[in-house]
Amino acid sequence: MEIDRFAWHAGNSGRRYQQVAQLEANAWGLFDLHGNVAEWTLDAYAGYAAPGEGDIPVDPIAWPSTEFPRSVRGGSWQDEPPALRCAARRGSAFSWKRMDPQIPQSVWYHTNARFLGFRVVRPLVEPSSEEQLKYWKPDLDSVRRIVDRQRRGERD
């Protein structure tokens, strides 16, 4: 299959994730854009809303208000080739951190989601200080609310 040149999936991965950049890069020089590990994103997992004709999204991020579900994209080593695409996505679940040894459990640690990773990116043009704070400043209030719910034994 042509996809075997570019992506790790259920048919060629040996049932595990692989070291990055072992297969060919895509046309833009990016390795492992599809498959290998699914991409953990900032977005809350929500249904698609089709924009109206001519509408331009002001803020493309679906800002989360709860710990679960968050959006995971791109497929992984355990998915079949049709699931290895940018538009393929699924929502995260509490079960992904079932074996987290920390008390309270971490907001970010997903011990049972070995198919999950993240992508490190760098903007071509450095954003303004205001934009940087919007995306890079930790949302301590949100994390605090999640940890408080965990301490009370509640889940989303």
Q: Is residue 7 within 8 Å of residue 84, measured between CB atoms? A: yes
The predicted pLDDT at position 134 comes to 75
Which amino acid does the sequence have at 23? L
Mean pLDDT of 136-150: 71
The predicted pLDDT at position 6 comes to 94
Which amino acid does the sequence have at 130? E
Task: Characterize 33-66 residue by residue with b for buried, 16 or more Cβ atoms within 10 angstroms of its Cβ, and e for exposed.
Answer: bbbbbbbbbebbbeeeeeeeeeeeeeeeebebee
The predicted pLDDT at position 108 comes to 67
Side-chain-facing half-sphere of 10: CA atoms under 13 Å: 8
How is the chain split into domains, by residue range? 1-46+61-156
Summarised one tens digit per residue, pLDDT across range 128-141 is 988 887 776 666 67
Give the DSSP letter of residue 81: G
The predicted pLDDT at position 133 comes to 79
What percent of the chain has a predicted confidence (pLDDT) above 70? Answer: 83
Local confidence band at 120 (pLDDT 50, 70, 90 cut-offs): confident
Which position has the higher pLDDT, 72 or 105? 72
Q: Is residue 77 within 8 Å of residue 16, measured between CB atoms? A: yes
Mean pLDDT of 73-91: 91
Instruction: Please return the burial class of 150, using the count of CB atoms within 10 Å of its CB with bins 0-12, 13-18 and 19+.
Output: middle
